[in-house]
């Protein structure tokens, strides 16, 4: 059996998710769900603790049972350690990784039931926003593990999109990927040379996406409703109305992608409103959000120029929200280009599948060469792809300077991966038996001017105490290593003379092995449809 094709790519999106594989003809294809759709809404409806519904039906429950429906959960990854929707009204308490696991289980279940796979889907590559830090990446990986999957790797969404677009050529070129999804925005500058895709710089905002365009339009609809009916409803105290208008706004946004005007009629508690929305009006309501994406893009381009990349040969528009005409119009105008928009909904999952196949093939070759397998893998007919990524965040540790606690940045954002930094510290008191290692994450990029910064500008992601093997005298040198793997996940290592102190980060919200087992048991118990 060709194990290199028994791997899958999953785009775990804020609003829609997708699963893909590379078929026997070396084509990346999307595996459709039970509804016959290529993408599945990332919505989870909790009928009860033992029965959840994921996808289109769950999304449809938003307007009628909003307190039992979880949406936009990706925005809670790395931010919230629990998900208690609408405070005390949400009847079941899950954290973001567990809710994400339900979505993954739905994708895999449909693909298993409808496909002709010889074995159940197990090995996957999951995508994440390029701007995700260590906590978000670890939680994304754990969501897959809770769903019962073997997560081979985490890959950035823009990089996966670039792979799918086929930016594998002998001609060296620089490609900018503008990725506006339902809930996140990424911008990544990539250098392509043959089958090597090297990420130069990345940035963005994982709390900026198409849903913010929907929200702006929904707020306009609410104001029109209140004006026409002399009411004073608000989204804060009318959750059902909020989601009803968000769903309507999403629909009208899609209409305005194809037409210049859209009409909307909506009712609530015996009152009704009717409005006409022009594309021009919609663009004006959402202009500030578009400005934010352009500003982030310019920032990434500036970082790339500092690295010697002064020209952009191609701009790719990725993510379903990039279909809005205002996106291409503005990008073309700002950057004097003809940006390409092709397959924005499926390209991320397809690229992840291609990456997964290449990773599986490389592993199969290593197993054969090292005698771990007797099966020599057949050569891939398609192009080989190698990805060189960068870290999206800056990582540092605490130091005392003139009596003030500061952060010394060790690894800066947009450093090529894998990477590591070794720094030497000393014990501060005689007979010291432990040392505190604090890990900070931030968005600083200038190593010349931002090597030492105030703690208030950084996020503490780990506060770890290492136990020393004996009483060391004051001033004993301790070598601390920060290393970030190809997936962008941070690891730690410390040495005191011959004493090796390897430590795992204890990041809040990232589960230990026992917590993972408990979460998996909960998800396994519930039926998912």
Domain parsing of the chain, residue ranges: 3-169+343-388, 210-287, 394-485+489-503
How much is the pLDDT for 362?
77
Q: Counting beta carbons within 10 angstroms of the beta carbon of residue 521, is it exposed (0 to 12), middle (13 to 18) or buried (19 or more)?
A: exposed
- Spatial separation of the C-alpha atoms in residues 56 and 142, rounded to whole Å: 25
97: preceding bond cis by omega (within 30 degrees):
no
- Spatial separation of the C-alpha atoms in residues 211 and 313, rounded to whole Å: 30
Q: How many CB atoms lie within 10 A of CB 501?
A: 18
- Spatial separation of the C-alpha atoms in residues 442 and 409, rounded to whole Å: 9
Q: Counting beta carbons within 10 angstroms of the beta carbon of residue 527, is it exposed (0 to 12), middle (13 to 18) or buried (19 or more)?
A: exposed
Q: Which pLDDT tens digit goes with each residue over 110-130?
A: 999 987 777 899 999 999 999
Q: Is it the case that residue 475 has pLDDT exceeding 70?
A: yes
- Beta strands per DSSP E along 249-393: 261-268, 271-278, 314-318, 340-341, 386-388
394-485+489-503: CATH topology is Substrate Binding Domain Of DNAk; Chain A, domain 1 (2.60.34)
- Spatial separation of the C-alpha atoms in residues 481 and 497, rounded to whole Å: 14
- Residue 195 phi/psi, 5-degree rounding, is -90, 10
Q: Is it the case that residue 88 has pLDDT exceeding 50?
A: no
How much is the pLDDT for 462?
87
Q: Is it the case that residue 1 has pLDDT exceeding 50?
A: no
Tell me how many degrees the CA angle 197-354-386 measures, rounded to the nearest 5.
25
Q: Is it the case that residue 501 has pLDDT exceeding 90?
A: no
Most confident stretch, 85-89, 205-209, 226-230, 519-523: 226-230
Q: Is it the case that residue 82 has pLDDT exceeding 60?
A: no
DSSP state letters, 456-515: GGSEEEEEEEEEEEEEEPTT-EEEEEEEE-TTS-EEEEEEETTEEEEE----TTS--HHH
Q: Which pLDDT tens digit goes with each residue over 180-208?
A: 999 999 999 999 887 788 999 999 998 89
Q: What percent of the chain has pLDDT over 90?
A: 63
Most confident stretch, 64-73, 277-286, 416-425: 277-286
Q: Which two tokens stand for residue 447?
A: 């190593």
Q: Which two tokens stand for residue 37?
A: 């759709």
Q: What is the mean pLDDT of residues 431-456?
A: 89
DSSP state letters, 108-140: HHHHHHHS--SS---EEEEEE-TT--HHHHHHH
210-287: CATH topology is Actin; Chain A, domain 4 (3.90.640)
- Spatial separation of the C-alpha atoms in residues 20 and 31, rounded to whole Å: 5
- Spatial separation of the C-alpha atoms in residues 295 and 253, rounded to whole Å: 23
Q: Do domains 210-287 and 394-485+489-503 have the same CATH topology?
A: no
3-169+343-388: CATH topology is Nucleotidyltransferase; domain 5 (3.30.420)
Q: Is it the case that residue 521 has pLDDT exceeding 50?
A: yes
Using pLDDT thresholds of 50, 70 and 90, give the confidence band for residue 364: confident
How much is the pLDDT for 89?
46
- Spatial separation of the C-alpha atoms in residues 8 and 422, rounded to whole Å: 36
Using pLDDT thresholds of 50, 70 and 90, give the confidence band for residue 400: confident
Rounded to two decimals, the pTM is 0.91
């Amino acid at each position: 059996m060709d194990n290199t094709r028994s791997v899958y790519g999953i785009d775990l999106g804020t609003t829609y998710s997708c699963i893909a594989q590379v078929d026997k003809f070396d084509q990346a294809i999307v595996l459709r769900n039970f509804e016959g759709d290529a993408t599945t809404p990332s919505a989870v409806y909790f009928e009860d603790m033992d029965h959840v519904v994921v996808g289109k039906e769950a999304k449809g429950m938003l307007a009628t049972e909003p307190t039992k429906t979880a949406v936009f959960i990706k925005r809670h990854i790395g931010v919230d350690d629990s998900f208690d929707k609408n405070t005390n009204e949400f009847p079941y308490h899950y954290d973001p990784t567990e809710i994400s696991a339900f979505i993954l289980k739905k994708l895999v279940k449909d693909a298993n039931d409808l496909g002709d796979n010889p074995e159940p889907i197990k090995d996957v590559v999951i995508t994440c926003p390029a701007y995700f830090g260590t906590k978000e990446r670890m939680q994304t990986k754990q969501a897959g593990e809770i769903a019962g999957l073997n997560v081979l790797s985490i890959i950035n969404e823009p990089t996966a999109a670039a792979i799918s677009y086929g930016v594998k050529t002998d001609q060296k070129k620089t490609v900018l990927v503008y990725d506006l999804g339902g809930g996140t925005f990424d911008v990544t500058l990539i250098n392509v040379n043959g089958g090597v895709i090297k990420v130069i710089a990345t940035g963005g905002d994982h709390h900026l996406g198409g849903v913010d365009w929907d929200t702006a339009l929904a707020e306009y609809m609410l104001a029109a409703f209140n004006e026409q009916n002399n009411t004073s409803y608000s989204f804060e105290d009318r959750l059902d109305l909020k989601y009803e208008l968000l769903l309507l706004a999403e629909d009208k946004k899609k209409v305005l992608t194809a037409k210049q005007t859209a009409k909307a009629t909506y009712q609530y508690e015996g009152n009704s409103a009717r409005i006409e929305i022009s594309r021009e009006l919609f663009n004006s309501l959402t202009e500030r959000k578009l400005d934010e994406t352009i500003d982030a893009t310019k920032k990434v381009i500036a970082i790339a120029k500092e690295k010697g990349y002064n020209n952009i040969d191609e701009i790719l528009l990725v993510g379903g929200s990039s279909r809005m005409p205002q996106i291409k119009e503005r990008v073309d105008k700002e950057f004097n280009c003809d940006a390409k928009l092709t397959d924005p909904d499926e390209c991320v999952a397809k690229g992840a599948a291609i990456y997964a196949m290449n990773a599986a093939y490389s592993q199969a070759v290593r197993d054969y060469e090292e005698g771990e397998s007797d099966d020599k893998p057949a050569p891939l007919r398609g192009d080989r792809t190698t990805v060189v990524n960068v870290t999206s965040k800056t990582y540092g540790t605490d130091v005392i300077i003139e009596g003030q606690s500061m952060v010394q940045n060790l690894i800066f954002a947009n450093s090529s991966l894998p990477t590591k930094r070794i720094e030497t510290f000393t014990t501060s008191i005689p007979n010291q038996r432990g040392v505190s290692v604090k890990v900070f994450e931030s968005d600083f990029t200038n190593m010349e001017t931002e090597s030492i910064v105030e703690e208030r500008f950084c996020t503490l992601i780990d506060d770890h105490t290492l136990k020393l093997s004996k009483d060391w005298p004051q001033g004993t040198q301790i070598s601390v290593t920060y290393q970030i793997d190809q997936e962008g996940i941070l690891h730690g290592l410390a040495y005191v003379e011959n004493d090796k102190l390897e430590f795992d980060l204890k990041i809040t919200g990232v589960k230990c092995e026992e917590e993972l087992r408990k979460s998996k048991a909960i998800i396994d118990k519930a039926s998912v449809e």
